[in-house]
């Protein structure tokens, strides 16, 4: 029996013929169709209803509704509610293949709950495929036919892999009937060129019907009785605008009781996503509706728990794609989960939480692919507080929203004028824009709010139009749009009762050099929201997450020059890193090691116990630019420092660019500080450039910062030359002492680099500039200890061979000093009073502090306004890999202190 339906589109009188399989007779009931583009009178036809097909294979499966008010022939059973029920929800990924559907069946069967209701989504990608059918049909694209065949094939293959015998045959038969019905419906859309929302909802809901039926049959095949529920017969919702629906709990509860009285079971497989209006017209719960379905069912059953099965281990403290150190949260309060989901975190749709919240039903997020993971429990705050009483972090998580724009309406005429804010947001509402955040200062001079960037043009035009008179009159000064913004939200229920959380948050942003454009915080204090530049969003997220979760200070480090000093530093870092992290909350991670010809890179941090082995095995060709980019840009840590352990002027030439890019620099390399004065440094630490491990720079800065005035700085700045002149006595030959120092590793490979005095001159320049003098290296007279004839020697070996010829000359100077009761010392002097410096060999009385040195010690005397009669002396080892590396390490910790670590 075929029947014709005339289209009511425009003035068309064309008729569409639907197949007989679509017009099933059942108990003479009337089916209220979603096909509103057909004349309503044509739906008052006799017998158009379809069975739910629970008792497969004896009952037909068709995609439609049944009026369950039909008197049942079975004895009605009361619906038990409460703790005996557990609700499970499996998303499309969980039922994306036959094997995954089997896994879901195993989880359900093995769950020891007395009663279980399982909400399932359509198979992965099926909902998108169904929407694509509608799109193709109303676009009059014949491709909808082959696309529908693909849907049929996907479910046929899956069912064939899961079922056998009569169950398989019946399911496939009824699947084909559904597909034929859909083909006729889509043909109608194709001819009309349009699909109503109700029609679309009806079509796309088939994916859930098929997955629920298959899962129910698989469970029954395994010996457990189950019924499947078409939730359109139970779940009643009212459209509420803004692409949302509101559940009608009273009516849904009535229908659920009636449904259960007809089909009692301890295992119910229910369709997610789909529902009906009070007029029995099929609809959906919109995107993410399956989670919402599960929560509503949990409330209707007063269930013990709702478990949302997904493909992640739980709710993370931040997006793990942006912050690799994000951690799984054990618990969240309903309010925290609500806030995080609103601000874009992959938690749950905000509306999912409402149904269970009123009954205190916990929601657990679990990973179907990792059953050993306990997941995240979303529950009442009292339970949450009890379970998280040992949690140190008052901020639970961070979320971001990108692609926003700020709109700022400001003007002196706004202050004290009632209705201004109402007029602003009324105009925004008129263009249908979504306001994400609002911020207004108490002065009422301006109101700023964030909207999606795609909507900001319409918002700005609406405001310009609404306030044209006020703008022309000057009562409003501007309607400004600030594009390319992102929102960062910090969420935590304990924030409300904990002083200093905001301070910590903003301090972390400030240390990461992030500028905050707007701030909002509700009186509930569950979240603090800031607006930042879009390009700063990930850096800001990492900075605040690092402060609250990883450590107060996490620093990504790149070590340049793993020679004697660099390798010693790496070994010191290896030995101290765990102590720093555990006791001082400082997390130092070496992300790269660069030598002159190779580099070792890591995304998470190099194992410093094996760095030499790893460099040999995984090293790649050295590239300084790629190295800096990797350490600074290809990781999840907001703070970056490059540690230059070389004496290379070429590398020193990169400092300015690195600092400009926000990369901190720590170095003992004196080439940059004593170079031309056309550079400006920030976050640049170079304590080891002057006194190796001695606190020379910090002492000088301390004097200046406390208001003292430097008069003169005089010192023995070279550990090498200190060793040489401390040993040059008792008739020893100068060349022999130099050879001994070289053999002991105190000198550079070519001792002329030390004896020339240039190294000391660079240190003098550094101290002179720290004292406020604008001196260049060329302004410093330097007395070289390299004899004039030997300065052109081709090699260090030749120099050492020729040096004994000049022993008499050096011996004479030493003897003259000895005869006068003095000693020779090679010193550098900064004469701040006369604005000059000098490097030379001087004589000192044997009771002078400079004469008391031994070994390679350095000594520096600060003569200041406070320390005038008796200079302030700093003395200690001034050479050697251990002390120099220690000085660098000290600078790294000083940087960490600057970035927020305990000092």
Would you please indicate which residues are annotated as catalytic (active-site) residues? 763
The CA R_g of the chain, rounded to the nearest whole Å, is 39
Residue 889 near residue 573, CB atoms below 8 Å: yes
**Cα 234 from Cα 54, distance rounded (Å):** 15
397 phi/psi in degrees, rounded to 5: -160, 170
> 751: which 2 tokens?
């001792």
**Cα 543 from Cα 554, distance rounded (Å):** 9
**Cα 316 from Cα 344, distance rounded (Å):** 12
Residue 145 near residue 133, CB atoms below 8 Å: no
Beta strands in 433-517 (DSSP E): 437-440, 446-452, 478-491
**Per-residue DSSP letter, 554:** E
482 phi/psi in degrees, rounded to 5: -110, 105
Looking at the DSSP bridge assignments, the partners of residue 399 are 489
What does each C-alpha distance from 704 to 32, 691, 756, 776, 877 come to in angstroms?
Answer: 87, 18, 31, 21, 24
CA angle (91 as vertex; 87, 92 as ends), nearest 5: 150
DSSP 361-372: --EEEEETT-TT
Q: Terminal CA-to-CA distance of the chain, rounded, Å?
A: 87
User: What b-and-e string marks burial along 534-548, b requiring 16 or more CB atoms within 10 Å of the CB?
Assistant: bebbbbbbbbbbbbb
Please identify which residue in the block is written with the tokens 């694509």.
Answer: 132
**Cα 257 from Cα 77, distance rounded (Å):** 9
664 phi/psi in degrees, rounded to 5: -75, 155
- 487, burial (CB in 10 Å: exposed 0-12, middle 13-18, buried 19+): buried
**Cα 112 from Cα 89, distance rounded (Å):** 16
Kindly tell me the number of DSSP H helices and DSSP E strands found in the chain.
30, 32
863 phi/psi in degrees, rounded to 5: -100, 120
**Cα 283 from Cα 36, distance rounded (Å):** 13
**Cα 66 from Cα 234, distance rounded (Å):** 11
Peptide bond into 709 cis (omega under 30): no
Please identify which residue in the block is written with the tokens 């000594």.
Answer: 859
> 304: which 2 tokens?
């013990």
């Amino acid at each position: 029996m075929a029947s014709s339906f005339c289209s009511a589109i425009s003035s068309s009188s064309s008729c569409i013929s639907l197949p007989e399989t679509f017009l099933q007779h059942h108990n003479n009931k009337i089916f209220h169709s979603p096909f509103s583009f057909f004349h309503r009178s044509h739906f008052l036809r006799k017998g158009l209803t379809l069975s739910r097909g629970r008792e497969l294979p004896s009952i037909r499966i068709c995609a439609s509704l049944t009026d369950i008010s039909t008197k049942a022939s079975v004895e009605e059973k009361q619906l038990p509610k409460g703790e005996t029920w557990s609700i499970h929800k499996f998303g499309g990924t969980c039922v994306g293949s036959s094997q995954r559907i089997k896994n879901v069946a195993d989880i359900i069967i093995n769950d020891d709950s007395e009663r279980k209701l399982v909400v399932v989504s359509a198979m992965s990608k099926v909902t998108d495929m169904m929407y694509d059918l509608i799109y193709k049909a109303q676009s009059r694209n014949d491709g909808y036919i082959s696309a529908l065949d693909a849907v049929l094939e996907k479910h046929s293959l899956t069912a064939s892999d899961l079922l056998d015998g009569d169950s398989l045959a019946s399911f496939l038969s009824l699947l084909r009937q559904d597909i034929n019905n859909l083909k006729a419906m889509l043909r109608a859309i194709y001819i009309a060129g349009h699909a109503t929302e109700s029609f679309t909802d009806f079509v796309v809901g088939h994916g859930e019907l098929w997955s629920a039926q298959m899962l129910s049959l698989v469970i029954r095949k395994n010996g457990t009785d189950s019924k499947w529920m078409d939730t359109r017969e139970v779940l009643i919702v009212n459209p509420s605008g803004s692409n949302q629906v509101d559940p009608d709990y009273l009516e849904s509860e009535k229908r659920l009781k009636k449904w259960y009285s007809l089909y009692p079971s301890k295992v119910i497989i229910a369709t997610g996503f789909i529902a009906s209006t009070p007029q029995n017209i099929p609809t959906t719960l919109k995107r993410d509706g399956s989670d919402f379905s599960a929560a509503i069912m949990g409330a209707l059953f007063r269930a013990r728990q709702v478990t949302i099965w997904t493909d992640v281990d739980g709710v993370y403290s931040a997006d793990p794609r942006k912050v690799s150190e994000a951690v799984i949260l054990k618990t969240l309060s309903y309010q925290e989960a609500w806030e995080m989901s609103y601000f874009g975190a992959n938690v749950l749709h905000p509306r999912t939480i409402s149904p269970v919240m009123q009954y205190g039903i916990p929601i657990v997020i679990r990973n179907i692919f990792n059953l050993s993971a306990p997941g995240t429990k979303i529950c009442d705050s009292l339970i949450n507080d009890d379970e998280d009483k040992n949690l140190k972090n008052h901020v639970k998580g961070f979320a971001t929203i990108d692609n926003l724009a700020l709109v700022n309406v400001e003007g002196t005429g706004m202050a004290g004028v009632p209705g201004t804010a109402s007029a602003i947001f009324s105009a925004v509402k008129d263009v249908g824009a979504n306001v994400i955040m609002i911020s207004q200062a108490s002065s009422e001079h301006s109101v700023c709010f964030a909207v999606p960037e795609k909507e900001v043009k319409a918002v700005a035009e609406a405001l310009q139009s609404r306030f044209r008179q006020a703008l022309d009159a000057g009562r409003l000064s501007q309607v400004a749009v600030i594009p390319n913004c992102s929102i960062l939200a910090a969420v935590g229920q304990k924030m409300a009762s904990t002083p200093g959380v905001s301070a910590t948050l903003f301090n972390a942003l400030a240390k990461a050099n992030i500028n905050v454009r707007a701030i909002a915080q509700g009186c509930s204090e569950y979240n603090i929201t800031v607006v930042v530049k879009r390009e700063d969003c990930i850096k800001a997220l990492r900075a605040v997450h690092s402060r609250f979760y990883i450590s107060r200070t996490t620093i990504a480090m790149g070590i340049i020059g793993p020679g004697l000093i660099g390798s010693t530093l790496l070994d010191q870092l290896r030995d101290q890193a765990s102590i720093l992290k555990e006791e001082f909350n400082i997390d130092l991670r070496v992300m790269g090691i660069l030598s002159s010809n190779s580099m070792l890179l890591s995304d998470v941090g190099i194992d410093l116990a094996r760095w030499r082995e790893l460099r040999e095995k995984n090293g790649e060709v050295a590239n300084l630019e790629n190295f800096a980019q990797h350490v600074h840009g290809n990781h999840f840590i907001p703070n970056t420092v490059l540690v230059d352990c070389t004496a290379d002027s070429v590398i020193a030439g990169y400092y300015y660019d690195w600092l400009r890019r926000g990369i901190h620099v720590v170095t003992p390399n004196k080439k940059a500080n004593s170079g031309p004065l056309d550079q400006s440094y920030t976050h640049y630490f170079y304590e080891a450039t002057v006194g190796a491990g001695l606190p020379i720079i910090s002492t000088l800065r301390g004097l200046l910062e406390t208001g003292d005035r430097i008069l003169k700085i005089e010192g023995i700045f070279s550990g090498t030359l200190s060793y040489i002149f401390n040993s040059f006595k008792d008739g020893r030959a100068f060349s022999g002492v130099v050879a001994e120092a070289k053999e002991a590793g105190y000198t550079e490979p070519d001792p002329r680099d030390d004896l020339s005095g240039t190294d000391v001159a660079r240190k003098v320049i550094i101290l002179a500039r720290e004292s406020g003098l604008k001196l260049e290296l060329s302004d410093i007279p330097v007395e070289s200890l390299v004899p004039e004839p030997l300065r052109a020697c081709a090699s260090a070996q030749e120099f050492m061979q020729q040096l004994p010829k000049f022993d008499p000359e050096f011996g004479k100077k030493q003897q003259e000093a000895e005869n006068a009761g003095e000693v020779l010392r090679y010193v550098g002097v900064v004469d701040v009073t006369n604005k000059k410096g000098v490097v030379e060999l001087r004589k000192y009385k044997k009771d002078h502090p400079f004469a008391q040195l031994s070994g390679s010690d350095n000594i520096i005397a600060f003569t200041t306004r406070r320390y005038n009669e008796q200079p302030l002396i700093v003395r200690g080892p001034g050479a050697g890999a251990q002390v120099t590396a220690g000085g660098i390490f000290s600078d790294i910790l000083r940087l960490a202190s600057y970035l927020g670590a305990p000092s």
